[in-house]
Amino acid sequence: MVLLHFVDLDPELALLRPLGGFFALRTSPGSPGEHDRRLPTLAQAYAQPHASPPTAAAGRPGAEFHDDPLAFRVRKVTRALRAPEERIGASVAQQGLAARLWSVAMGCAVLYGCVPDLAPGLLRWDPDAGAPDDLWLTRVRTRPGDAAGPGDAASVAETVLEGHLEPLSAALRARCPVAPGLLRGNAASALAATARLLGRWADEHSRPDVAVRTRDLTAALLAHPLLADTGSLSGGVFRRRSCCLYYRVPGGGVCGDCCFTRPPRSSPRAPSG
């Protein structure tokens, strides 16, 4: 039997730091603090385009950062990749944010035994930052109704899949023609990558409890109705049924879990999910 070692959430979520940059989460303002307070929340990023009147700054350079931070991020990523289509930038941007959210939630679930409240309105996000996405959790607390837990697959799925990735997917699809199956494939791929990193850390630090917990959570999450048809998990290796389109980036190729074994030569729009 493997014993699980859990501790209470601390104000800085310090146990996440040794796991690396995709897991560590800012929980206090950086410098200068005023800049952090002006960062949009993820709730604002997920808002539908033109859902509210444009600000007085509309039309001014940089106004999109505040008026539509998600569109700003997609265009930034598209330009950085020199991608021929904005939907490629949308795919890469979504997968990067998905990886951050899975990492925080999964890291807390396996190390603390619970998932903090990661409501979109509590997470500020810098859409102009590099990778990994810069997130600031403005209040560290357990999820409403969870008390000291749970950190089970249902709570992780509710926090990440339902609370973030589904509204993020809807917001992206309202801005550019990216397939929902592609975005769910990205979500599953990011989850599997998070599990690999956690498993590697557990092996390197002699934490079989973390390894077992990670495997169990990952298998349960990939069986979730929103992810169940995205790919297959065998021997700890995930193979997705869709493509994130990275092969269409100049100098890009297929990812390790891609449905393709080599970059396709046919129609640039198929298959994407």
**So where are the chain's domains?**
14-47+64-248
- pLDDT exceeds cutoff 80 at 45: yes
Q: What is the per-residue pLDDT for 151?
A: 73
Q: What is the per-residue pLDDT for 255?
A: 82
pLDDT band at 273 (very low <50, low <70, confident <90, very high): low
**Candidate from 43-47, 256-260, 264-268 with smallest mean pLDDT:** 264-268
Mean pLDDT score, 60-80: 82
Q: How do residues 138-151 score in pLDDT, each as one tens digit?
A: 999 988 766 555 67
Angle in degrees, 0-180, between the axes of helices 69-81 and 86-111, rounded to the nearest 10? 110
Q: What is the per-residue pLDDT for 248?
A: 81
Q: What pairs with residue 134 in β-bridges?
A: 126
- As a whole number, the mean pLDDT across the chain is 85
What percent of the chain has pLDDT above 70?
82
Q: How do residues 13-26 score in pLDDT, each as one tens digit?
A: 999 999 999 999 99
- pLDDT exceeds cutoff 50 at 55: no
pLDDT band at 161 (very low <50, low <70, confident <90, very high): very high
